[in-house]
Amino acid sequence: MKVKVKLFALLEDYLPVGARNNEVEMEVVAGTTAAAIVKRLNLPAELCHLVLLNGNYLEPGERGSRPLAADDVLAIWPPIAGG
Amino acid sequence: MGWTRKVLRVNLSKGTCASEPLNMEWAQKYLGQRGLASRYLVEEVNPKVDPLSPDNKMFFATGPLTGTAASTGGRYSVITKGALTNAIACSNSGGYFGAELKMAGWDMVIVEGKAKKPVYLLIQDDKAEVRPADHLWGKSVWETDALLKSEHHEPQMRISAIGRAGESGVMYACIVNDLHRAAGRSGVGAVMGSKNLKALAVRGTQGVKVHDFPKFMQAVTAGKKVLAANAVTGQGLPAYGTQVLMNVINETGALPTRNHRDVQFEGAGRISAEAMREKRVTDGKANLVRNQACFGCTIACGRISQIDKTHFTVANNPKYWGAQGGLEYEAAWALGAATGVADLEALTYANYLCNEQGMDPITFGTTVGAAMELFEMGVLTTKETGGVELKFGSAEALTKLAEVTGMGEGFGKEIGLGSKRLTEKYGHPELSMSVKGQEFPAYDGRGIQGIGLAYATSNRGACHLRGYTIASEILGIPEKTDPLVSAGKAGLVKAFQDATAAVDSSGLCVFTTFAWTLDDIAPQIDGACEGGWTAARLLEMGERIWNMERRFNLDAGFTAKDDTLPKRLLKEAAKTGPAKGKVNDLGKMLPEYYKLRGWSPEGVPTNETVTRLAL
């Protein structure tokens, strides 16, 4: 199945070849979690601060246990803020 | 110390300047800047005063840490009754002007009356003088800055000025210092213009003394280490600035779009922090040139940008080809998502114009958004707009209106009214996305419940900086709360509001609180000032300030009915994203908020609360 992964701010550097506009479509097997995506893209764990699944915050405890569904959108940011 | 203990009182009607001692009893209760100047305002200004009358006063106030070695210690605020809102106004600015004023030896400048002809205030350390400004009237902020420095042969002079917007009665005119830092909101520049006061020009060489130097430096050094080690203040903000939020808030479905008709903007990525760093096809350069710090700041979140010289807005106007301030998140959102414009260069240009002529880009952009909706409804036509096809998404319309509004010309005069007055004039007040006359910033109260309550109860009208619950609801600072849940948000809003009021009274930037708590700030204040300052004392003081501001607004004629949100946020559900189907639950949160505040069901501080806070 396919999922969309978006990486922003300092994580931009980890976007794989073929990524456009901060996002890339990835082919994953059933049961893949957000943590598995983080590992596959070699993202430093300490930079994966804000993780949104379809716009909803994914608690740290869910990132390694909740399987992604087809067409899910996973967006990840390092610690950031603004105002 | 920390305080200079001196106040400069300027009477523009008489053309006089006089030094008077700072009220130290009040300084111990309200610290400085926002709190202390508001105390002076309450004492000296009738809450029912017409903001644009000579009887209104302006307070340019520093905090005890302004001009010291404390990180971000360069802030000053302008306190007055707001032209846009008719409520208490407190607009906070960075840059270098505040520190210069403090080093000239003044905690505060009080401006009263109205000059018969345009004037500017010259402050050179202890000397102050009201001078004619006929030659400056009609000039932009940028021109005024250059002229005054040249005239006084003083390149290190710091200028805080209004542009043509403030002269021509744009109700949300701001006061710009150091070319692109601004006391931006609530129309403080319109008040300054009504007094015929063009600028404050300051040179200060006296430094700032602190109470206990070793103790102060120990606390300041510890604070700087915390900022440097924190991923947000040490890495995220310097690299990406506040603009990093554009994609975050869009993904969470809380990016108000096209006058809040939508909550997600398809063009968000093209106007984001990430887009500012991308190399352009046209010239191979990025919009972002570098970051910039205000006085004493070790975060440096500011953006310096350079526009594409081939862009239609500036192709024939080299004046705008140099590097300038912006875009910051709020301006990029208001000029972009709120109007549906996804042209980064056009937003950059419109933001330059806001800085050049001195107007708040948040209210300007959102007012254009409201006008675009009126245009699409057929209420406004090209007859009213002077031929401008005012359609959502039109970069041409946005930039044209920025030009004429900044100059106070044509349809720009109507845009200069702000969205409340504009939509009322054309029979659709429900289309003004504002509270107490001030437009929303860049977060939608349907997708982020707590910020909706913060807007509804903000003492200066809709504002994110009076209680930035986004930190908790979206960013997880200090701890994550669910943005879609309203339960518990009353307490969260109150906590943020009280703490922020304390920080805003210190001379520090509120962005430090992404890393610091009041436990980090209190030792710095305690080192600088006598009096035994603790975090608990600061928090209580913040609550006192909040209630004092509330009392001023109640006496000005505001009631609990004004603690509300536009119908669009209360009745029209979000169409997409995580908040799809949701409205803001203000009705559930507000009664609890009043109760936690110690206010009656009518939103009035009870006698017990007034006594407890020693108001």
Q: Verify that B451 and B355 share a domain, yes or no.
A: no
Q: Token pair of B202, please?
A: 């300051």
Write out pLDDT tens, residues B226-243: 999 999 999 999 999 999
Task: Give the mutation candidate from B232, B235, B240 for the A interface (greatest A CB count, under 10 A).
Answer: B240
**Rounded to an integer, what distance in angstroms lies between the CA atom of residue B147 and that of residue B149?**
6
Write out pLDDT tens, residues A33-50: 999 999 999 999 999 999
Is B466 in CB contact (< 8 Å) with chain A?
no
In chain A, residues with a C-beta closer than 8 Å to the C-beta of B253 are 55
Task: Report the domain count for chain B.
Answer: 3
Looking at the domain assignment, is residue B177 inside a domain?
yes
B403: Cβ contacts below 8 Å, ≥ 6 apart = B353, B412
Of B232, B252, B465, the CB nearest to A80: B232
B110: Cβ contacts below 8 Å, ≥ 6 apart = B7, B8, B9, B10, B40, B44, B57, B58, B59
Q: Token pair of B550, please?
A: 């509330």
pLDDT band, residue B581 (cuts 50/70/90): very high
- CATH for the A2-77 domain, from 3.10.310.10, 3.40.50.1010, 3.30.1330.180, 3.10.20.30: 3.10.20.30
Q: Token pair of B285, please?
A: 């350069």
The pLDDT of residue B237 is: 95
Q: Verify that B430 and B462 share a domain, yes or no.
A: no
In chain B, residues with a C-beta closer than 8 Å to the C-beta of A78 are 231, 235-236
Output the domain CATH number for residue B133. Answer: 3.60.9.10
Write out pLDDT tens, residues B300-310: 999 999 999 99
The pLDDT of residue B333 is: 98
Write out pLDDT tens, residues B101-133: 999 999 999 999 999 999 999 999 999 999 999
Write out pLDDT tens, residues B198-216: 999 999 999 999 999 999 9
The pLDDT of residue B141 is: 98
Write out pLDDT tens, residues B396-434: 999 999 999 999 999 999 999 999 999 999 999 999 999
Write out pLDDT tens, residues B515-566: 999 999 999 999 999 999 999 999 999 999 999 999 999 999 999 999 999 9
Mark yes or no for CB contact A82/B269 under 8 Å.
no
SS3 B458: coil
Is A19 in CB contact (< 8 Å) with chain B?
no
What average pLDDT does range B52-57 have in this prediction? Answer: 98
CB B40 within 8 A of CB B46: no
Mark yes or no for CB contact B511/A83 under 8 Å.
yes
In chain B, residues with a C-beta closer than 8 Å to the C-beta of A11 are none
Is B477 in CB contact (< 8 Å) with chain A?
yes
Of A8, A46, A81, the CB nearest to B471: A81
Of A21, A59, A75, the CB nearest to B251: A75
The pLDDT of residue B1 is: 81
Percent of chain B at pLDDT exceeding 70:
100
In chain B, residues with a C-beta closer than 8 Å to the C-beta of A75 are 247, 251
| Cα atoms in the Cβ-side hemisphere of radius 13 Å centred on A27 | 0
Mark yes or no for CB contact A81/B511 under 8 Å.
yes
User: What DSSP line would sit under B102-122, residue for residue?
Assistant: HHTT-SEEEEES--SS-EEEE
ipTM of the complex: 0.98
Where does a domain end: B385, B410, B438? B438
Q: Verify that B420 and B328 share a domain, yes or no.
A: yes
Write out pLDDT tens, residues B590-608: 999 999 999 999 999 999 9
CB B242 within 8 A of CB B326: no
Q: What is the DSSP letter of B91?
A: E
Closest to B237 measured CA to CA, from A10, A35, A81: A81
The pLDDT of residue A55 is: 97
Give the minimum alpha-carbon distance from B577 to chain A in angstroms, rounded to a whole number: 7
Q: Verify that B469 and B338 share a domain, yes or no.
A: no
* Domain assignment of residue B387, given as a range: 240-438
Q: Token pair of B360, please?
A: 């708040």
Q: Verify that B414 and B449 share a domain, yes or no.
A: no
Torsion of CA B488, B494, B497, B502, to 10 degrees: -130
Q: Verify that B488 and B559 share a domain, yes or no.
A: yes
Where does a domain end: B203, B232, B249? B203
Give the minimum alpha-carbon distance from A10 to chain B in angstroms, rounded to a whole number: 8
Residue of B nearest to A10 (CA): B236
Q: Verify that B164 and B272 share a domain, yes or no.
A: no
Looking at the domain assignment, is residue B555 inside a domain?
yes
Strand partners, B348: none
Residue of A nearest to B231 (CA): A79
Q: Verify that B371 and B409 share a domain, yes or no.
A: yes
Q: Dihedrals φ, ψ of A33, to 5°?
A: -110, 170
User: What DSSP line would sit under B495-544, residue for residue?
Assistant: HHHHHHHHHTTTT--GGGGGT--HHHHHHHHHHHSSS---HHHHHHHHHH
The pLDDT of residue B124 is: 98
Residue of A nearest to B482 (CA): A57
Q: Verify that B455 and B391 share a domain, yes or no.
A: no
Q: Verify that B76 and B193 share a domain, yes or no.
A: yes
B348: Cβ contacts below 8 Å, ≥ 6 apart = B287, B305, B307, B326, B327
Write out pLDDT tens, residues B182-202: 999 999 999 999 999 999 999
Is B252 in CB contact (< 8 Å) with chain A?
yes
In chain A, residues with a C-beta closer than 8 Å to the C-beta of B233 are 81
> Does pLDDT of B144 surpass 90?
yes
Looking at the domain assignment, is residue B142 inside a domain?
yes
Task: Give the mutation candidate from B247, B329, B470 for the A interface (greatest A CB count, under 10 A).
Answer: B247
Q: What are the CA-CA distances from residue B470 to residues A19, B125, B214, B467 (Å)?
A: 29, 40, 36, 9
What average pLDDT does range B467-478 have in this prediction? Answer: 96
Is A45 in CB contact (< 8 Å) with chain B?
no
Looking at the domain assignment, is residue B93 inside a domain?
yes
Q: Verify that B417 and B458 share a domain, yes or no.
A: no
> Does pLDDT of B96 surpass 90?
yes
Q: What are the CA-CA distances from residue B231 to residues A10, B73, B226, B328 (Å)?
A: 11, 21, 10, 19
> Does pLDDT of B219 surpass 90?
yes
> Does pLDDT of B509 surpass 90?
yes
Which residues 335-374 in chain B show a CB within 8 A of chain A? Answer: none
Taking the domains of chain A in order of start, what are their residue ranges?
2-77
> Does pLDDT of B46 surpass 90?
yes
Mark yes or no for CB contact B475/A6 under 8 Å.
no
Q: Token pair of B479, please?
A: 């701890």
Q: Looking at the whole model, is its pTM more than 0.90?
A: yes
Of A9, A12, A55, the CB nearest to B253: A55
Mean pLDDT, chain B, integer: 97
Is B329 in CB contact (< 8 Å) with chain A?
yes
Rg of chain B over all Cα atoms, to the nearest angstrom: 22
> Does pLDDT of A82 surpass 90?
no
pLDDT band, residue A18 (cuts 50/70/90): confident
Percent of chain B at pLDDT exceeding 90:
100
Where does a domain end: B438, B454, B475? B438
Is A13 in CB contact (< 8 Å) with chain B?
no
CB B161 within 8 A of CB B122: no
Q: Where are the beta strands (DSSP E) in B152-196?
A: 158-161, 175-177, 181-183
Number of A to B CB contacts under 8 A, please give it: 90
Length of chain A: 83
